[in-house]
Amino acid sequence: MFRINKLLTVTVLLVAFAFTMGCGRKAVSPTTGSKYNDPKAGGFEVAKSKEQITAPGLIAIEGGTFVMGGTYEDLMYEWNNAPRRVTVSSFYMDQTEVSNVAYLEYIYWLNRVFGQDYPAVVQKALPDTLVWRNRLAYNEPLVEIYFRHPSYHDYPVVGVTWLQANDYATWRTDRVNENILIKAGILDYDPDQKNENNFNTEAYLAGQYEGLIKDGKEDLDPNGSGVRNVRFEDGLMVPRYRLPTEAEWEYAARGGTNTPYFFEGSPKDYSDIGFWRKFFDADTEVISDFVIYGKNSKNKTQEPSLVKANPFGLKNMLGNVMEYCADKYSPDAYKKGGASVKNPIVKEGKEWVVRGGNYTSDASKVRSAARDYTKHDIWLKTDPQQPKSIWWYSDIRGIGFRIVCEPDASIGAK
C-alpha cells in the first residue's frame, strides 16, 4: 500500500514539474531567453491563448484539398468548370445567407451615425425593394413588406449589389471587434458616435481612434503609460470579414463530398430538363429536404429553417438565392494556374462570380459545381437613372450573399 502511495506521489510531482516547465517554456523566448509579458524584462507581450474566437453566426471550416469543378455527371451541363485540384486554407463562414434583420441592423446603425448629416450614406446602402415588382400585377405586397416586416426577418436580404455586400462586410468587421472590446472591458459603449467619429477597426489598430476607454489594456512596456490600445497580435480581435472566394464557396458547399450535390442523387433524377420529363415527373423527395429551388419555392425565397444543413453545418448553400463571390468571372478560370492550385482568386474581368442558383432554378443549376455570374446591364434594365446605378439592381430578386472571416495566422489559428 505504501509503495502504491509513494508511486502516486512521485507521479503527481512529475506531472506538476512538467506542467511548470511547460509553462515556463511558453513564457520565455526560445531565441533570447528573455521572459515574455514581464515589465522587468522589457515588457514584450505574447498572447497567452492561440485560439481565435468564433464570432457570432459563423461556422469554422477546416481547410483542405478537393477537386473543384464538374464531375462526370456534371459535364453535360457546362464547359466552364473543368475539374482541378484546389487547396483552400481554413476559414469561418456564415451558417446562413445574410438575413433581412441582419441587414436592417446595418441600416439602423448607418442611419443613427450618418443619417442626420450624410443621408446619402444610408440611401446608398439600402437594398432595392422594387425588385419584387410584378409588371402584370396592380399591387405587389412584397415590395412593401419583404425587407422590413418581422415575418420576413429571417429571409435572405435581396436587391443588393456586390459593392453593397462588401460595404456590409467592412461594417460587420468593425461592429464585431467593437463589441469584443466592450465585452472584454477595454472600451465602454459610446452612444454618441457620429459621422467619422465611430469605431473603425483599422483606425483603432493604427492608434487614430480611442473611443471611450473603460479599463483599457494593461501596458507592460516600462516606458509606457500603463494603459494601451489592444493590438492585433493580442489575439482578441477578429480579422476582416469579406465575401468568399469562388474556391472557398465551392469547398464549403460540397461539405467534403465529390458528387453533384452534397446529398444523394444526380441531376438526371431531379432536373425537369430532358426528353423523359415529357412522360415522367422529376424526383423531388430528397432534394427538397436540402434545397429551395424552382419546384418547391412557391416562387419566392424561403427562410433557412425549411432546409437541412450540409455536412459542414451550412444552410442554403444551394438554391434560395445566388451568392456573390470575391472573384471576377472568367469562363476559363479553372484552366489557369495548372492542375493543382492553392487559394485561387480571379481579379480580372467585367462581371462577378455568383454561385448556388436560386429559388427559380432548375435542379441542374443548383449543383455544387454550377457556375454563374452577374449580368450587370440586364439586371439594371428598368433602372431609370442615367448613367445606370452601380449601387442598386432593379431587375434581379434571387441574389444575396454570405460572409467569411479569415483565421489569423499570427496567433496560431489554423
> Which band of pLDDT confidence, cut at 50, 70 and 90, is reported for residue 114?
very high
Between 270 and 35, the more confident residue is 270
Mean pLDDT of 29-56: 72
Range of lowest pLDDT (30-44, 75-89, 119-133, 300-314): 30-44
- Per-residue confidence (pLDDT) for residue 14, from 0 to 100: 41
The answer to whether residue 272 scores a pLDDT higher than 70 is yes
> Which band of pLDDT confidence, cut at 50, 70 and 90, is reported for residue 1?
very low
Return all residues near 88 (Cβ < 8 A) that are at least 6 apart: 63, 64, 66, 245, 247, 248, 251, 342, 343
Mean pLDDT of 230-246: 92
Q: Name the most confidently modeled range: 1-5, 21-25, 209-213, 352-356.
A: 352-356
58-99+124-161+241-411 CATH choice from 3.40.718.10, 3.90.1580.10, 3.40.50.970, 3.40.1010.20? 3.90.1580.10
Query: What is the DSSP annotation of 278-303?
Result: GTSPPP-TTGGGT-B-TTTSTTS---
What's 391's DSSP letter?
S
**What are φ and ψ of residue 402, in 5° steps?**
-135, 165
Q: Which amino acid is at 116?
A: Q
Range of lowest pLDDT (96-110, 179-193, 276-290): 276-290
Q: Average pLDDT, whole number, for the chain?
A: 85
The answer to whether residue 135 scores a pLDDT higher than 70 is no
- Per-residue confidence (pLDDT) for residue 273, from 0 to 100: 83
| pLDDT single digits (tens) 77-112 | 667 888 899 999 999 999 999 999 999 999 999 999
Return all residues near 50 (Cβ < 8 A) that are at least 6 apart: 235, 411, 412, 413
**What are φ and ψ of residue 11, in 5° steps?**
-60, -45
Q: How far apart are CA 143 and CA 132, in angstroms?
A: 5
Mean pLDDT of 301-314: 97
Domain range summary for the chain, segments of one domain joined by +: 2-33, 58-99+124-161+241-411
